[in-house]
Structure 1
Amino acid sequence: MSTPHSERTPQQIADLVRERMFANDRAARGLGMEVTETTPGKATVTMTVRENMLNGHDICHGGLIATLADTAFAYACNSYNELTVASGFSVDLMAPGREGDVLTARAFEVSKAGRTGVYDCDITNQRNERIAVFRGRSYTIKGKPVFTA
């Protein structure tokens, strides 16, 4: 028997959001991403840089690094089971990702007020070297859950 939504803890809600979103997240799955942790307002996502992710300079395409960060941002801001979308983001690339690197994006809530939020994300490689920083702005759709009980 399932637990009614009102009786779930914030962590249980975040876990269910992660499961439901990932089951339908074709982009993240197609890029080999793994959502390794979701807590209320936070998420961690990893991705191994594959040969087909390299640009003409043999480094990870910056758009794919942004996609990794955007994915962590999405799981963090939806973790409350309120359908939330990006209203914009910026990303600063600081070092290249190379083939075989395991990139980790850690997103966390900076501010959440009303329907808007701000989330920051650090992207590092397996040596804990900073690859990029990301800031996302979110907008919550009133009355729309990510999942229903």
Structure 2
Amino acid sequence: MTTESDEQHQAETIAAGMMGRDAYSRWLGAELVAIRPRACTLRMKVRADMLNGFGVSHGGIVFSLADSALAFASNTNGHVTVSVDNTISYPVPVELNDELIAVAEEETAGARLGFYRVTVARQDGTCVALMHATVYRTPQKHHLDQSND
């Protein structure tokens, strides 16, 4: 029988291993704030090299943070999980030095497909992006005995 504490340990172990191998999330400056089964919170600060020609954050940067939070949250189930569909809306622009917090949570799941909502907010709590995503849980299991690279 798997306990809640076993699931939490698995989520923490998988997230630590993934972050250790995820050069892109580290380049973003993404920091793992919280991880629990089927949920993740990441934080990052918008840098000058992330701005577009209009002087605001490139949408791809915000998408990337949301996608990284999705990846960490959806992989906590123990199976290698990949996204198959994402839609994102940007209600307000993101400025230089904004601190972004992405919260990914599973809304519902079946045996192979999971459905997630990712909210990205800036430091004042204003929602700057909302992602809906579908993920596919592969049969491949995460190897929990592997340490970070």
Unaligned runs of 5+ in 2: none
One-letter code aligned to 1:52: D
- Residue 141 of structure 1 aligns to a residue whose secondary structure is strand
What CA distance in whole angstroms lies between the structure 2 residues aligned with 1:89 and 1:147? 27
Which residue in the other structure is 2:74 paired with?
77
> What does 1:1-149 align with in structure 2 at a 5 Å threshold?
9-142=6-139, 144-149=140-145
Is the Cα contact below 8 Å between 2:14 and 2:144 reproduced in 1? no
- Residue 9 of structure 1 aligns to a residue whose secondary structure is helix
Identity across matched positions, percent: 29
- Residue 79 of structure 1 aligns to a residue whose secondary structure is helix
Deviation at 1:146, TM superposition (A): 2.2
Is the Cα contact below 8 Å between 1:88 and 1:137 reproduced in 2? yes
One-letter code aligned to 1:68: L
Is the Cα contact below 8 Å between 1:20 and 1:147 reproduced in 2? no
- Residue 128 of structure 2 aligns to a residue whose secondary structure is strand
RMSD over aligned Cα, in angstroms?
1.3
What CA distance in whole angstroms lies between the structure 1 residues aligned with 2:32 and 2:101? 10
Is the Cα contact below 8 Å between 2:10 and 2:144 reproduced in 1? no
What CA distance in whole angstroms lies between the structure 1 residues aligned with 2:78 and 2:122? 30
Is the Cα contact below 8 Å between 2:86 and 2:131 reproduced in 1? yes
Runs in 1 of length 4+ with deviation above 3 angstroms?
none
One-letter code aligned to 2:114: G
What CA distance in whole angstroms lies between the structure 1 residues aligned with 2:58 and 2:130? 15
- Residue 131 of structure 1 aligns to a residue whose secondary structure is strand
Unaligned runs of 5+ in 1: 1-5
